């Protein structure tokens, strides 16, 4: 079994050829991709199939969907260990010049206390500025 097939199994997602291609494109990108960027990389899969696969991935916590104030939602593979709890938490950086989003795995996420009565179901830690390529 490939590493992607193992990730699908952990998240209880049925393996199909299109889903594998979409997951491979996300993995190989090395950074979160917008729907447009993903479609450009997957010329053989139509937009509706990409959208449906991403919907399945989101429901199973196989991808993170993040809004970065750029051109909408970006997607990245989630490397958590199952379909119920997301333990793949990391910081993202959005470049205001090139409009790319980067994963900053080695940047610690500060702990945040929520007030009584609030139940956190997700969070996003996003830094904005200019990436090294654009400086």
Q: How far apart are CA 100 and CA 83, in angstroms?
A: 27
Query: Domains of the chain: which residue ranges?
Result: 3-129
Give the global pTM: 0.75
Q: What is the pLDDT of residues 6-55, one digit of tens each?
A: 989 988 999 999 999 999 999 999 888 988 889 999 989 999 999 999 99
3-129, CATH topology level: Arc Repressor Mutant, subunit A (1.10.10)
Pairing of strands 91-95, 101-104: antiparallel
What was the pLDDT predicted at 108?
Answer: 82
């Amino acid at each position: 079994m490939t590493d992607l097939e193992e990730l699908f199994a952990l998240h209880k997602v049925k393996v199909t050829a299109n889903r594998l291609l979409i997951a491979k494109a996300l993995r190989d990108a090395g950074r979160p991709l917008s729907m447009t960027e993903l479609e450009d990389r997957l010329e053989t899969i139509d937009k509706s199939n990409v959208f449906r696969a991403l919907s399945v991935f989101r429901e199973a916590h196989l991808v993170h969907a993040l809004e970065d104030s750029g051109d909408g939602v970006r997607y990245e593979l989630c490397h958590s260990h199952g379909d119920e709890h997301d333990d793949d938490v990391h910081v993202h950086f959005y470049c205001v010049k090139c409009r790319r989003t980067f994963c900053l795995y080695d940047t610690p996420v500060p702990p945040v206390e929520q007030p009584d009565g609030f139940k956190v179901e997700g969070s996003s830690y996003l830094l904005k500025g200019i990436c090294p390529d654009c400086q």
